[in-house]
A and B are shown apart, each in its own frame.
Chain A
Amino acid sequence: MRDKALRWRWELFLAVVLVAVFIVNINISEFYLGEQNFINMFQLSIEKVIVVVIMTFVIVNGEIDLSVASVMAFSACVLAALHQGGTVPFELAVVIALLAGTFAGALQGAFVAFMGLPSLVVTLAGLIGFRGAGRILVEDNSIGDFPEWFETLGQEPLIGRFSFALIFFLVLIVVAGIVLHRTAFGRSLFVIGNNANVARYSGVNVSRDKMMIMTASGFFAGLAGILFASRLGSVRGDLALGFELDIITMVLLGGVSIFGGSGTMVGVALAILIVLNIRNGLGLANIDQNTQTGVIGVLLILSVLVPNLVARLAGSLRVARTAERGPPAPGGPKEGGDTARQEADLRPTQG
């Protein structure tokens, strides 16, 4: 009960932050409040936010995928290399590039799900290795000259002012929210994220679910990489370099616990809006890309630091109150916020 209230309190907090960002941005620039600015804001980060949706599943599941930006580059490089080779029709090349991203995710998923290796190391190896594989394919060239339909797909609006990628994202986040919060599969992801052993003993197929999520992560990263290629009109080895920072920041700012097992898609959607609006506002205020990245770094740390401090403050208040009333409950208050937090998170999903 308490925990649930606390969770919605985080979403409320995000909403307040978002309104504050709005107000600041309106005062920064007259160009902020325009339909086109809002479309651009999404358009310029659309590949990132597509990956954010799947990263939410990965982190709720108790894993992490540091390789997403490299898998984006890998898929795009496969596409570019096939296009340059010229032996396969372009449509087939797109399919192969998608499969390449999916394969990258499945390979890492197999190490995580079936060998039990930590996803942190596996995807760190993937972060280095898949970008490396992409670099082998395109070396230091910039490959472009894609078919017209492909570039139109990324650069021109499809319906009204919305591009294909934007429509895809809007559908994706709604479907993802339903899958995560309203289906048995989604619920099993929370149970696994809370405690994989409990999930295993309650008959959840942990390995299969982890494999599916990591594979899906590769698929969506690959798709995002291809969409990025179509928007840019060219592919280089350093495509999407460093995107994992923004992506993970948005998920954690959205209130998803880095230890897995808790978080909401609504929170993540709010976090996406906050990060995009902050970047947009900084851009309108003529603050360069580099400083924006630094701000995202600060935001990443704060998004975990603030709830930790709030929880500890609330904890010490509770201890003080129980001390006034009488002797503490057996076992006493737990030291070490992590374990206490994980135990607290276990309750709502099991009930």
Chain B
Amino acid sequence: MSGLLSLRPERLRELSLFAVMAVAVFIFSLLIDNYIGGSFFNRVTTSVAITAVLAAGQTLVILTRNIDLSVGSIVGVTAYVTGEYLHNHPDLAPVLAVGYAVAIGAGLGLLNGVLVAYAKVPAIIVTLGTLAIYRTWLINHSDSRTITSDGLPDWVVELPNSTIVSFGDFDIRTVVAGSIALIVVLQLMLGGLKWGRWVYAVGSNPDAARQAALPVRRVILGVFVASGALAGLAGFLFLSRFGTITVNAGNGLELQSVAAAVVGGVNIFGGAGTLVGAFLGAVLINLLDQSLLRVPGLSEFWRDAVLGTLIITAVAVDFLLGKRLGRLSTSARGRRATGVPPPGQGASSDA
């Protein structure tokens, strides 16, 4: 017990997610014949790639005590516009094609960020508005045309199935490996760079961050641009995975990304949480999503109800455990370090 307590809460959270996943896989394997297999593994991991990239951006935003509800629309816009551009310029270098999607996403994120950081409009208002505005623009722009995979270059269509290594039927797909690498790099930057620590500082106490002369506005602007850019990347992955892009592409992905972050232990009040946690949250959500489809007697219509329950359970459990664990570990650490009794826990209810 004391061994577990000496772990940081984030590590504990990540371990518990692994435990939940193991239990889920065990239960599903009892309910579903031939549940565990290569094709299932591949399907789950490929869909995780998109959610995980979005969840990483959402996590950066939530860490600063904000929220980005526009990412689903950004995915739709970038997937459509990039597909359109590739139709007309099929010889475009892959790096430039990805860069195009990321740049458009970053631009849309920049608009969100300016409104939140400089015009001081709450993030929930700004991104609820741009959620509608970006989608409206896409619908008008598309003129009810659909992007189809026929006109896309081969490398885009083949990307989702390209594999780095295989263990029997279990393939490690390029996009999966790529998104894991990206998240690891971002996590290291977040933990190691000055800028990364600022993100946590702004989220855990904006007033203190301002008093300490941190560039609060620029940090908030930065996370929205990053979230937009990552949504752009996710838009590109969406394009290559589905090939066919309608104006509804990416609808509702913003909810999935918030869900992944929150289930992954990112504190909705900001200042606490990791990208690795959000990644595990994304894995759990996609695992449940893909598994529920195959349980006899259940249908695809169960997924949203389950997802909603999962979010509220994660938040409630976090809250209850966080109160208890936080008290235990501060008192343990406080006694070890100074011998002074810890201050009473406070400031938990007023955010």
Taking CB atoms and an 8 Å cut-off, the chain A residues in 288-344 that contact chain B are 290-291, 293-294, 296-298, 300-301, 304-305, 308-309, 335-339
Contact string, B292-308, partner A, CB cutoff 8 A, digits 1/0? 00000001011111111
Of A22-30, A91-99, A112-120, A183-191, the one contacting chain B is: A112-120
Contact A115 B301 (CB under 8 A): no
Instruction: Known A131-B304, A298-B133; judge A115-B255 contact (CB<8 A).
Output: no
Instruction: Known A132-B308, A305-B119; judge A124-B258 contact (CB<8 A).
Output: yes
Contact string, A25-52, partner B, CB cutoff 8 A, digits 1/0? 0000000000000000000000000000
Of A10-18, A133-141, A219-227, A265-273, the one contacting chain B is: A133-141
Contact B132 A125 (CB under 8 A): no
Query: In the complex, which range does the number of interface residues on chain A fall in?
Result: 35 or more
- Least distance between B265 CB and chain A CB atoms (Å): 13
Q: Select from chain A the residue with minimum beta-carbon distance to B311.
A: A125
| Interface assignment of B262: CB less than 8 Å from any CB of chain A | yes
| Interface assignment of B316: CB less than 8 Å from any CB of chain A | yes
Contact B128 A245 (CB under 8 A): yes
Instruction: Known A121-B268, A128-B308; judge A294-B258 contact (CB<8 A).
Output: no
Of B3-11, B13-21, B23-31, B136-144, the one contacting chain A is: B136-144
CA of A140 to CA of B309 in the docked complex: distance in angstroms?
21
Of B35-43, B102-110, B275-283, B343-351, the one contacting chain A is: B343-351
CA of A152 to CA of B119 in the docked complex: distance in angstroms?
48
CA of A298 to CA of B304 in the docked complex: distance in angstroms?
29
| Interface assignment of B335: CB less than 8 Å from any CB of chain A | no
Contact B316 A133 (CB under 8 A): no
Q: Which residues of A have CB within 8 Å of B89? A: none
Highest count of chain A CB atoms <10 Å: which of B139, B305, B307, B351: B305
Contact A291 B140 (CB under 8 A): yes
Taking CB atoms and an 8 Å cut-off, the chain A residues in 248-266 that contact chain B are 248, 252, 258-259
The binding surface of chain B is classed by DSSP as helix
Contact B316 A115 (CB under 8 A): yes
Taking CB atoms and an 8 Å cut-off, the chain B residues in 106-142 that contact chain A are 115, 119-122, 124-126, 128-133, 135-137, 139-140
| Interface assignment of B67: CB less than 8 Å from any CB of chain A | yes
Q: A128-B255, A132-B305 are in contact. List 14 more A-B contacts (CB 8 A).
A: A120-B67, A120-B268, A124-B255, A125-B308, A125-B312, A132-B304, A136-B305, A237-B301, A258-B124, A293-B132, A293-B135, A294-B132, A301-B130, A335-B210
21 A-B pairs whose Cβ atoms sit less than 8 Å apart in the complex: A117-B319, A120-B124, A120-B268, A125-B309, A127-B308, A128-B255, A128-B307, A128-B311, A132-B301, A135-B305, A139-B301, A244-B128, A248-B128, A293-B132, A294-B132, A296-B132, A297-B128, A297-B129, A305-B121, A335-B210, A336-B120
Q: Residues of A at under 8 Å CB distance from B?
A: 64, 111, 115-118, 120-122, 124-133, 135-136, 139-140, 196-197, 237, 242, 244-245, 248, 252, 258-259, 290-291, 293-294, 296-298, 300-301, 304-305, 308-309, 335-339
